[in-house]
Amino acid sequence: MTDAVASAQHLFAEQYGRRPAGVWSAPGRVNLIGEHTDYNDGFVFPFAIDRRTTVALGDRDDRVVRVSSTFSPETIEVHLDALTPDAVSGWAAYPLGVVWALGESGADLAHVRGVDLHIDSDVPVGAGLSSSAAIECAVALALDEHWGLGFDRPTLAKIGRLAENRVVGAPTGIMDQSASLLGEADAAVFLDCRSLDTDVIPLGFTEAGLSLLVIDTRVSHAHATGGYAARRASCEAGAAALGAESLREVRVDDLDRARDLLDDETFRRVRHVVTENQRVLDTVRTLREQGPGAIGPLLDASHVSMRDDFEISVPELDLAVETAQANGAIGARMTGGGFGGAAIALVIDDLVPVIARKVVEAFAEHGFREPGVFTVHAAEGARRDA
């Protein structure tokens, strides 16, 4: 039994005074490339990471669901018959939103008994590594198996997204939940967000002597407000102005025509998404044909596109990327929704300590908060642990 499982069982017993019936877990994710393409029906290439959220679950005799966690002192409870999208807020919107979304997606919850849930996590919150999807997917898999609902993983990913869109209120796409549920060790999930076809592709980082460094800027972001929704709205407006159902239908060759039809800002938003989709395809092909050491320029170009065209970077992310590149990273880019969160750098193993130190020094010189710098490995997706 791993420490995380023993700890989840212990914390559940402390909270609820009995042993849990089971423990499930789901990982956070790093997106290797393909940013803000998921809600445009495009391509993404994320992987599940070795940072996980655990959910310990115990049965109840009534129809109440209680949730507690190590990141908040409060225990929230709601009756299954009273669960609506407006009935919950704060961190509990993630787990209880999933309970609502299961029912909304066709699960017959009229006869299930309530549960107690205790949630623990080592996915950093606000770092752009999708701690939210990790909670949603761990809870979705736990309840699906415990209640015998029989949903498959792609449907559970949609259920997690529905909770996030309708209960948390963030208009996000399907990428994070797909990575958390479908990820495999040492591989990334190439996902077509229109067909939802997936291909799990070995990354080969370890064999190539490469490490993936995460630089958490500690600039926190939230996707329920502000820039994320504005970017999504620009993409939808751009697609409509071009007569396309989604930006997935727009090709790099169409961009000259798009420039004449769109205002400058909308054009740049569209150009990011269209070129990013192509970069995902190029990354997958390059990885397969030449190995991970050859994908660096695509990662670098992705960052420039997010910085200049999509305008979702912040000075801390740019500094992290530039410092990693200047000190020998193979490629670097911000990852996730932007406006804060983390950058990633693909780095030769021997250079990890050097680049980590240089980034910390550069942040200090600029008067920025000290970043968190650590390596991650591609790990298995959501699972039952005990």
Please list the residues that pair with 213 across neighbouring strands. Answer: 345, 375
Listed ranges 33-41, 114-122, 295-303, 318-326: which one lies at the site for ligand GAF (CB under 6 A): 33-41
For ligand GAF, the closer of residues 218 and 333 by Cβ is 333
Distance in angstroms (rounded) separating the CA atoms of residues 191 and 46: 8
Per-residue CA distances from 348 to 78, 209, 324 (Å): 50, 6, 11
Distance in angstroms (rounded) separating the CA atoms of residues 370 and 368: 6
> Under the criterion CB under 6 A, does residue 39 sit at the interface with ligand GAF?
yes
Please report which residue ranges of the chain form alpha helices under DSSP H. Answer: 3-16, 93-104, 131-146, 153-162, 175-182, 227-241, 255-261, 264-290, 296-304, 315-326, 352-365
Listed ranges 18-26, 173-181, 260-268, 343-351: which one lies at the site for ligand GAF (CB under 6 A): 173-181
Please list the residues that pair with 23 across neighbouring strands. Answer: 56
> Under the criterion CB under 6 A, does residue 216 sit at the interface with ligand GAF?
no
For ligand GAF, the closer of residues 38 and 116 by Cβ is 38
> Under the criterion CB under 6 A, does residue 160 sit at the interface with ligand GAF?
no
Among 120, 176, 309, 385, binds ligand GAF (CB under 6 A): 176
Task: Please check if 156 is assigned to a binding site.
Answer: no
Q: Which of 28, 35, 22, 2 is nearest to 303 (CA)?
A: 35
Task: Please check if 25 is assigned to a binding site.
Answer: no
Please list the residues that pair with 54 across neighbouring strands. Answer: 25, 120
Please list the residues that pair with 200 across neighbouring strands. Answer: 189
Per-residue CA distances from 100 to 73, 81, 159 (Å): 23, 10, 9
Among 26, 35, 43, 119, binds ligand GAF (CB under 6 A): 35
Asked if 124 and 372 touch (Cβ cutoff 8 Å), the reply is yes
Active-site position among 176, 300, 309, 385: 176
> Under the criterion CB under 6 A, does residue 136 sit at the interface with ligand GAF?
no
For ligand GAF, the closer of residues 93 and 352 by Cβ is 93
Among 15, 33, 38, 310, binds ligand GAF (CB under 6 A): 38
Task: Please check if 94 is assigned to a binding site.
Answer: no
Listed ranges 35-43, 139-147, 297-305, 345-353: which one lies at the site for ligand GAF (CB under 6 A): 35-43
Length reported for the chain: 386
For ligand GAF, the closer of residues 229 and 386 by Cβ is 229
> Under the criterion CB under 6 A, does residue 175 sit at the interface with ligand GAF?
yes
176 is catalytic: yes
Distance in angstroms (rounded) separating the CA atoms of residues 141 and 92: 17
Task: Please check if 126 is assigned to a binding site.
Answer: yes
For tokens 């699906």, what's the residue? 144
Scan residues 64-103 and list those touching ligand GAF (CB under 6 A).
none
State in angstroms the smallest separation of the CB of 210 from ligand GAF.
23
Asked if 343 and 188 touch (Cβ cutoff 8 Å), the reply is no
The SS3 of residue 201 is: strand
Among 336, 340, 371, 381, binds ligand GAF (CB under 6 A): 336
DSSP one-letter code for 71: T
State in angstroms the smallest separation of the CB of 352 from ligand GAF.
25
Among 27, 42, 85, 173, binds ligand GAF (CB under 6 A): 173
> What amino acid positions are annotated as catalytic residues?
176
Annotated binding-site ranges? 35-38, 69, 126-132, 164, 228
Annotated binding-site ranges for Mg(2+)? 132, 164
